[in-house]
Structure 1
Amino acid sequence: MTADVWLPIPPKEIEGLPEGLRYLFWDGGEDGDQEFPGDPADCALYVVPYMKRQPVLVRPLERMRNVRVVQTLTAGVDDISERMSLFPPGVRLCNARGVHEASTAELALTLTLASLRGIPNFVRAQERGAWASEFRPALADRSVLIVGYGAIGAAIEDRLVPFEVARVVRVARSARTTERGPVHPLTELPALLPQADVVILSTPLLDSTRGLVNADFLTLMKDGALLVNVSRGPVVDTNALLTELESGRISAALDVTDPEPLPAGHPLWQAPGLLISPHVGGPTSAFLPRAKRLLVDQLHRFVNREPLRNVILTTGSPNG
């Protein structure tokens, strides 16, 4: 029997899909109640819909008894990874490394520059018809700390270098050396945070990073420092951040929040020194071409029984 592949992009819009598979379109629908395109039990490879709520993403999983690969179109897999225990050994979960680096790095730089140069203040002044110039810090000559130095973290550094930053310090879960210099482990953050003018979070959401930016972390940031989060909302303790923002000691720019979506009336909306964007690091014109290329390559690998790209975990394995 031909194996089913569920795609959140209409198959006719993706050139180069390999033969030998039956491609079915399913993106969850507008309200998450779209009917399944086939029997989930016949699905061998499930490409998770993009930018849909978690209940939509996981709805078919319990019935996908024969799935062999779950492919996300996001860099983070926390919405799906906790459900992988539903499957027998050997099921692989893959992320979208290579798809979002450019867009997310662009946004990290945009939020950093907009916050430092006071762009939100200028927008508000424009709405009032007021010519309100002010002296603002530049990104040039600043020390930037990137927490989470994977593909996105490296892409952020690529974009920082032309802005003549004084120093880029890299932090990840474990130490290593790159062509650009050392990557420090998370355990060294207490010594590194007081030296940073800008702290950019691009780390995945894991047990070790959930609540990483807590009161102790924020207290170690220097006065006047900027925190930028393009990773996941729960990496930051929202109440601890609110306390620091309300004191005026630091500022922040968040593309992700906890909770998310941020409800109307939440204190973050009115917090001083805070710029919020609604989790738009990935959805740009750069997404679709890169997502299609990833899927075509991954499906050819799947059909030809070649090693898959971006395997985050395999059920039943020691690291799974």
Structure 2
Amino acid sequence: MTTTTRILVSSEADDVVGQELFGQLDSVEVIPYDPTTTTLNEHQRQAEIFVPPYRGTNRPMPLMAQMPNLRMVQLTAAGTDEWANEVPDGVVLAGARGAHAGPVSEWVLSAALTQYRQWPALVRFQDEHTWAHRKFAADTLRGKRALIVGAGSIGLAVARLFAAFGTESTLVASTCRDGVHAASEIPNIIQGHHIVVIAAPLNEKTQNLVDKDFLAAMDDGALLINAGRGKIVDTDALVTEVKSGRLRAALDVTEPEPLPEDHPLWTFSGAIISPHSARTVPGTNVLCYEVAVLQIETFLNGKIPSNSARPKGT
């Protein structure tokens, strides 16, 4: 007798594609839900797999307590850190790692070009109707060196894009492997890099990794690009360095987040900030759900999904 697995999937516009893709799996019933609700109906409560929405992923987190048969939580986000301590014991937690490599690496490249080609200054001159020929010093990515902290799909994609612009990359991960340095080596290799890209997940080892000492070791005039998590960077230490003009920054994530209106980072000419939107371009939701389908299919076949965190209580 074939057993039907119930999957709870958001009914919001970005998640309809997820309902369609999950519906193509064998022996699966897709149950829509409103991620703004606080109460599930009896049918929704029977779900064994829970898929939070593409936008505002954390909103329906409390609903897990209403699902007694829950066996898996599948995120459309790359990182699982915000859910890791919230899923019930024994429940598999998996992310959509790999889906964001294209959009996020493109954002990193655009952030680097924006800073090096001085687009913020150009826009300000344009606002003043000023033809700013030779009034600012633009630079090029060619011949630069980038230290990429995080050698997963995003970090590797960033390195490939940088290479096309003549930028040499040094990759760093938690442990060393062929062509990749260990994080413990950062103090010895950080100097000589014009750009430092943070593309690592947030965990106990990476929280506040980019602290006062890390920033002080960066070359004068270097650019810090954070496309990982805000808590990886010590914000106060970064404020000090950017305020002095010694370092520049391009941030898609901050700590705190959202950044308060009166935060000094908003005011620095050496900083550009985007609102945690590096992945937010048309089609990214489809990429995320395509990865999610593979993860859930693996789980339904009795195997461990490649993007899963170890279940709590095991």
Fold-level similarity (TM above 0.5) = yes
| 2:147 matches 1:145 | yes
C-alpha separation in 2, matches of 1:212 and 1:12: 38
Q: Find the counterpart in structure 2 of residue 175 from structure 1.
A: 176
Worse-matched range after superposition: 5-14 or 259-268: 5-14
TM-superposed deviation, 1:76: 0.9
Q: Find the counterpart in structure 2 of residue 48 from structure 1.
A: 52
Q: C-alpha deviations, 1:156-195, integer Å up to 9, x for none?
A: 1111111011x21111111111xxxx21111111111221
Q: C-alpha deviations, 1:288-308, integer Å up to 9, x for none?
A: 221232233334334443443
Q: In the TM superposition, what are the counterparts of 1:1-320 in structure 2 within 5 Å?
A: 2-8=4-10, 9-10=15-16, 13-14=20-21, 17-26=24-33, 28-29=35-36, 33=37, 35-36=39-40, 38=42, 41-52=45-56, 54=58, 56-84=59-87, 86-87=88-89, 89=90, 91-133=91-133, 134-165=136-167, 167-177=168-178, 182-317=179-314
* 8 Å contact kept, 2:250–2:271: yes
* 8 Å contact kept, 1:26–1:37: no
Report the residue type matching 1:43 in the other structure. Answer: A
TM-superposed deviation, 1:264: 1.2
C-alpha separation in 2, matches of 1:156 and 1:294: 20
TM-superposed deviation, 1:233: 0.6
Identity of aligned residues (%): 33
TM-superposed deviation, 1:214: 0.8
SS at match of 1:245: helix
TM-score, normalization by structure 1? 0.89
Gaps of 5+ in 1: none
Report the residue type matching 1:269 in the other structure. Answer: W
SS at match of 2:255: coil
C-alpha separation in 2, matches of 1:61 and 1:141: 50
TM-superposed deviation, 1:287: 0.8
Evaluate the alpha carbon distance shift between residue 34 and residue 65 of structure 1 in structure 2; reply closer, same or farther with a 3 A threshold: closer
* 8 Å contact kept, 1:227–1:253: yes
C-alpha separation in 1, matches of 2:5 and 2:44: 11
C-alpha separation in 2, matches of 1:27 and 1:78: 23
Report the residue type matching 1:50 in the other structure. Answer: Y
C-alpha separation in 1, matches of 2:19 and 2:68: 27
* 8 Å contact kept, 1:145–1:196: yes
C-alpha separation in 2, matches of 1:171 and 1:299: 30
Worse-matched range after superposition: 16-25 or 264-273: 16-25
C-alpha separation in 1, matches of 2:84 and 2:60: 11
Worse-matched range after superposition: 206-215 or 58-67: 58-67
C-alpha separation in 1, matches of 2:57 and 2:259: 14
Q: C-alpha deviations, 1:121-168, integer Å up to 9, x for none?
A: 111111111111322221110010001111111111111111011x21
Gaps of 5+ in 2: none
C-alpha separation in 2, matches of 1:18 and 1:142: 47
- Supply the RMSD in Å over aligned alpha carbons: 2.0
Worse-matched range after superposition: 199-208 or 123-132: 123-132
SS at match of 1:241: helix
C-alpha separation in 2, matches of 1:286 and 1:171: 29
TM-superposed deviation, 1:53: 6.0
C-alpha separation in 1, matches of 2:38 and 2:202: 29
* 8 Å contact kept, 2:39–2:63: no
C-alpha separation in 2, matches of 1:220 and 1:291: 36
Report the residue type matching 1:211 in the other structure. Answer: N
Evaluate the alpha carbon distance shift between residue 12 and residue 213 of structure 1 in structure 2; reply closer, same or farther with a 3 A threshold: closer
Q: C-alpha deviations, 1:180-220, integer Å up to 9, x for none?
A: xx211111111112211000000001111111111111100
TM-score, normalization by structure 2? 0.90
C-alpha separation in 2, matches of 1:45 and 1:126: 51
* 8 Å contact kept, 1:78–1:206: yes
